[in-house]
Amino acid sequence: IDELLAEGVKGKRVFVRADLNVPLAEGTITDDGRIRAVQPTIEKLAEAGARVVVASHLGRPQGAPDPAFSLAPAAARLGELLGADVAFATDTVGSSAKETVAALTDGQVAVIENLRFNAGETSKDDAERGAFADQLAELADVYVGDGFGAVHRKHASVFDLPARLPHAVGQLIATEVGVLKKLTDEVKRPYVVVLGGAKVSDKLAVIDELLGKADRLLIGGGMAYTFLYAKGYEVGISLLQKDQVDKVKEYMRRAEETGVELVLPVDVLASTDFPDLKTKAPAVFETVDADKIPADKEGLDIGPKTRELYASKIADAATVFWNGPVGVFEHPDYAGGTRAIAQALVDSSAFTVVGGGDSAAAVRTLGFDENAFGHISTGGGASLEYLEGKTLPGLAALEG
Ligand code: 3PG
């Protein structure tokens, strides 16, 4: 973006592809981290006199307008953060967008409505995506890619649009990629990875890659129960992906062969009921050893012995990457494990990276200071796919 600023952007319409996909609860933003992360890029462009057109997806609407997924709350929050009036177009490439962009003066910012209200954005058909990218291209003179959380998506605004306009890499993407390089090309050891989250199927590719890279892999969250089952334990009614058991067994064997320490929970908090995340009514649970989960109960957080074990495995690390909560942290009774992991990262002198929308939101909602971590990534799937060594369409497009 510095090069672009040096060339001069005054009076130019600059399209910023951001990732404003923030969590909302009844129309209220519960974590604005992703908006704050892209703010410096928008500010720099506006200060340089650009007419800034900010675009993003939010959630997964089905290719048509859906008020539940409007970007209006995100636009309002961006205005508060910038301390400026941010115009909002109620469509993406229609008359509202065209009029809103035409009315911008130098240094002003507008947000257009959710890109995914248009089927062309996510279409698998190149021509359909291209046609939508053509419409988006009419709104701008220059493209800045800064939606790191979406760079793994081959979508019109991420992949096709930069090919149609002069383009530059935004400050957020530059920072995120710089950090991820420290986890790949230049990693300092011991390198410890904590993986949580609900589904092991989402993490298979990254585990595959990490078995050759990490020194220790600590497993938590819903995905841990497929590992425990693969080890031969009964897991009651815990989340279990039976179709992944063979794969997980193979990974456990490979970890042994390659000398990667694969660490599983030794105790869990188990309950007959999934907690009520709305009322947050006190949960009824017991702490049991990981090989003694009762048949009628499901594990919902890692237990105290596991918290201590994982903290000790993190303590002497030089690099830590953490993706995915290790329990149902949205409920206070099951937030202890995730809190303990976050605390272990804060206490260690390692370079620590938190990746993934959920874990990033967790550290903030649990009250941790963002600055206590080396880096909190705005990308969930994007950072995982980067670590898997995949080519990310949104990054490739910016290089072209
Ligand atoms: C994310 O939340 O990881 C990004 O915003 C991408 O969203 P998506 O998974 O719906 O494409």
- Which pLDDT value is given to residue 400? 74
Name the residue among 128, 106, 112, 114 with its Cα closest to residue 53.
112
Ligand 1 test: best mutation among 17, 19, 20, 21, most atoms within 8 Å of CB? Answer: 21
**Measured between alpha carbons, how far is 40 from 48 in angstroms, rounded to an integer?**
12
247 known member of a binding site? no
Q: Which two tokens stand for residue 323?
A: 């993706």
Q: How far apart are the first and last CA of the chain?
A: 15
Phi, psi of 194, deg, nearest 5? -110, 120
Name the residue among 265, 266, 267, 301 with its Cα closest to residue 283.
301
Single-letter code of the amino acid located at 400 = G
299 known member of a binding site? yes
- Which pLDDT value is given to residue 365? 86
- Which pLDDT value is given to residue 359? 86
**What separation in Å is there between the alpha carbon of 149 and the centre of ligand 1?**
6
Return the number of other C-beta atoms located less than 10 Å from residue 72's C-beta. 15
**Ligand 1 in reach of 150 Cβ (< 6 A):** yes
Nearest protein Cα to ligand 1, atom 6: 150
- pTM score, whole prediction: 0.89
**Measured between alpha carbons, how far is 395 from 368 in angstroms, rounded to an integer?**
31
**What separation in Å is there between the alpha carbon of 382 and the centre of ligand 1?**
8
Given strand 298-302, what is the order of strands in its sheet?
286-289, 267-271, 298-302
CA distances from 387 to 57, 322, 362, 379 (A): 23, 12, 21, 12
The residue assigned the tokens 């933003």 is 29
Could you identify the atom of ligand 1 that is nearest to the CA of residue 380?
3
Q: What is the 3-state secondary structure (H, E, C) of the chain?
A: CHHHHHHCCCCCEEEEECCCCCCEECCEECCCHHHHHHHHHHHHHHHCCCEEEEECCCCCCCCCCCHHHCCHHHHHHHHHHHCCCEEEECCCCCHHHHHHHHCCCCCCEEEECCHHHCHHHHCCCHHHHHHHHHHHHCCCCEEEECCHHHCCCCCHHHHHHHHHCCEEECHHHHHHHHHHHHHHCCCCCCEEEEECCCCHHHCHHHHHHHCCCCCEEEECCCCHHHHHHHCCCCCCCCCCCHHHHHHHHHHHHHHHHHCCEEECCCEEEEECCCCCCCCCCCCCCEEEECCCCCCCCEEEEECHHHHHHHHHHHHCCCEEEEECCCCCCCCHHHCHHHHHHHHHHHHCCCEEEEECHHHHHHHHHCCCCHHHCCEECCCCHHHHHHHCCCCCHHHHHHHC
**Ligand 1 in reach of 60 Cβ (< 6 A):** yes
Name the residue among 318, 377, 366, 378 with its Cα closest to residue 341.
366
Q: Are 198 and 380 in contact (CB under 8 A)?
A: no
The residue assigned the tokens 């370079």 is 351
- Which pLDDT value is given to residue 358? 80
Nearest protein Cα to ligand 1, atom 4: 149
Return the number of other C-beta atoms located less than 10 Å from residue 204's C-beta. 17
**What separation in Å is there between the alpha carbon of 381 and the centre of ligand 1?**
7
**Measured between alpha carbons, how far is 358 from 309 in angstroms, rounded to an integer?**
23
- Which pLDDT value is given to residue 125? 98
Q: Are 359 and 232 in contact (CB under 8 A)?
A: no
**Measured between alpha carbons, how far is 345 from 328 in angstroms, rounded to an integer?**
19
Q: Examine the predicted complex and report whether its ipTM is higher than 0.95.
A: yes
Ligand 1 test: best mutation among 19, 354, 392, most atoms within 8 Å of CB? Answer: 19
- Which pLDDT value is given to residue 317? 98
**What separation in Å is there between the alpha carbon of 250 and the centre of ligand 1?**
29
pLDDT in tens, the chain (400 residues): 999 999 999 999 999 999 999 989 888 998 899 999 999 999 999 999 999 999 999 999 999 999 999 999 999 999 999 999 999 999 999 999 999 999 999 999 999 999 999 999 999 999 999 999 999 999 999 999 999 999 999 999 999 999 999 999 999 999 999 999 989 888 999 999 999 998 888 898 899 999 989 999 999 999 999 999 999 999 999 999 999 999 999 999 999 999 999 999 999 999 999 999 989 999 999 999 999 999 999 999 999 999 999 999 999 999 999 999 999 999 999 999 999 999 999 999 999 999 877 888 889 889 999 999 999 999 988 999 998 889 999 999 999 7
